[in-house]
Amino acid sequence: MLAHPGGHDMVKLVGLLKCLVVMIVVGVVTAAVVVTVSVTRAGWLAQVVGIAISVVLFIIAFQWAWRRYVGPIAFRWPTKKDVAVLMPFWIVILLALYLNEVTPAFRPFFSWLVALAALVAILVSMGRQQR
């Protein structure tokens, strides 16, 4: 579990902002990767690799920036129970991804619906931890 270092709230806020700045820079890089594999009409493997690079970059950068500027973050591999808890939400996210492709009317809601699914997943896991 995360043990936030003690200190002033302002320090934490500045840390969060620094984390955000790092992630925006990473966002530019990952977007550049995504656009490059798109405009060059790369094959499916290159597309998958490009997306994987952008996702892995996001994960590494987030872990690093959070540890560096906000506080320690424990990493552990997900257990079967974790996966069982998150599976319904992951299914919602993947279903939304599919609906976004095949149902034009759904498209304006895609980004917010999947974000909502992720937030609900986190809130549910918080509730489970408190019980």
Partner 1 sequence: MRYKTGQTDKWKFASYERDAESTLDYAVHRYYSYRIGRFQTTEPCALTSSACSGATVSLRLFNPAQQSPAETNLYTYVGNNPLNRTDPLGLQWWCFWGPCDPWGGFYGGGGWLAQCWGPTPNPWGPRQACERNCNLAYASQLMYCTLVGLIDPPAGIVCVGIAILEHQLCYFVCSLIPEGTTW
Amino acid identity of 129? Q
2 binds partner 1, rule: CB under 8 A: yes
25 binds partner 1, rule: CB under 8 A: no
What number of H helices and E strands is found in the chain? Answer: 4, 0
The residue count of the chain comes to: 131
**C-alpha to C-alpha distance for 124 and 73, rounded to whole angstroms:** 20
Closer to partner 1 at the Cβ: 10 or 102?
A: 102
Answer for which of 11, 17, 84, 97 binds partner 1 (CB under 8 A) is: 97
Tokens 């304006």 belong to which residue? 108
* Contact between 30 and 54 (Cβ < 8 Å): yes
The residues, any chain, with a CB within 8 Å of residue 4's CB and separated by 6 or more, are: 12, 70, 71
Binding mask 43-82 for partner 1 (x = CB under 8 A): ----x--xx--xx--xx--x---x---x--xxxx-x---x
Q: Is residue 107 within a helix (H) or strand (E), and if so which, with residue range?
A: none
Q: Which residues bind partner 1 (CB under 8 A)?
A: 1-2, 16, 19-20, 23-24, 26-28, 30-32, 34-35, 37-39, 41, 47, 50-51, 54-55, 58-59, 62, 66, 70, 73-76, 78, 82, 85-86, 89-90, 93-94, 96-97, 100-105, 107-112, 114-115, 117-119, 121-123, 125-126, 129
